[in-house]
Amino acid sequence: MVKLALGSVQFGTNYGVSNSYGQPNTQEITEILALAHHNNINVIDTAIAYGDSEQVLGELADITNRFEIITKLPPLNKEQFSPADCAYYLELLDLSYQKLQTNRLSGLLFHSADDILKDGNNELLQGIFSLKKSKKLAKSGVSLYSQGKYSKLLNAPLVDLVQIPYNCFDTFFSSSGYLHKFKERNIEVHARSSFLQGLLLMELQDIPEYFLPWLDKLTLFSQVASEFSLSNLELALSYVVKEKNIDKLVIGVNNAKELEQVIQAYHNAHKVEHDQLPDLSCLEQKLVNPAHWQLD
């Protein structure tokens, strides 16, 4: 079974530190989707916050209806939900179904994990539960970030799917034991940020100045790739596919050629002797969490 899932943030925005292509056009997206389907990639990850990604996917519903689609609710920038907030979020969710031109979602995530635990959200949670009960929604859960404390989420209602960052540098969810705990509770785990927005795939001379304090780590990554006779892409994927508790690996591409390269690298990554890979873990959030990057 292919564990790759197709991220769609590129379909709605100019995304990624290494993205020199810009937002792909409809023809390019169609080619990406066709190639993904042909290679048994059956999950598309999107979000309300991803520009017009949902709208773009909906306009290609004759193709995207062959996929399982996961979307995300935007963060609530308040300490608790009001009845009006709940009603608004349910309207956003209904609009997502309309934009995507679908009657069923494979997954719904809170972009901010705290929102599923906030006071006042009962009406929203009940609405999500009703969608699951009526088979319009298969799974629900949260998108997580490294270094958080997520014990309360392990037994929270409606959490049977989580999305986490995971790559050679950011192994927090494995080292902290959360990955094991998720699997103990039959929570499906999807990993994102395996290429650190493309940073791990860049030539060292092209790396933005912001990352120079970690040039030694990025250089070591490239050296390990050479030692194992792997491309940076293959090595980046190797660190994720070796983690058995990850169910899906969400990757984003700008064109079909990139996806073809990822698919080939994904299969090559399974041939690596994973127990021989050195530990490259890094706890510095200014490197591993793109939310902290200062590139301007």
Residuewise pLDDT in 10s, the chain (296 residues): 789 999 999 998 754 444 445 688 999 999 999 999 999 999 999 999 999 999 999 999 999 999 999 999 999 999 999 999 999 999 999 999 999 999 999 999 999 999 999 999 999 999 999 999 999 999 999 999 988 889 899 988 899 999 999 999 999 999 999 999 999 999 999 999 999 989 999 999 999 999 999 999 999 999 999 999 999 999 999 999 999 999 999 999 999 999 999 999 999 999 999 999 999 999 899 999 998 999 87
Tallying the residues shown for the chain, one arrives at 296
CA-to-CA separations, 176 to 163, 170, 171, 180, 191, in angstroms, rounded: 16, 11, 8, 9, 15
CA-to-CA separations, 71 to 54, 56, 61, 101, in angstroms, rounded: 8, 13, 15, 13
Query: Residue 23 — φ and ψ, nearest 5°?
Result: -75, 125
Residue 105: the pLDDT is 98
User: Distance (Å, rounded) from C-alpha 200 to C-alpha 167?
Assistant: 9
Residue 21: the pLDDT is 57
Q: Which amino acid is at 179?
A: L
Q: What is the dihedral of CA 29, 32, 36, 42, to 10 degrees?
A: -10
CB 37 within 8 A of CB 67: yes
Domain covering 4-292, topology: TIM Barrel (3.20.20)
Residue 19: the pLDDT is 40
Residue 189: the pLDDT is 98
Residues 6+ apart with CB under 8 A from 20: none
Residue 108: the pLDDT is 98
Residue 295: the pLDDT is 86
Q: Which residue reads 């395996």 in tokens?
A: 194
Domain ranges of the chain: 4-292
Residue 286: the pLDDT is 94
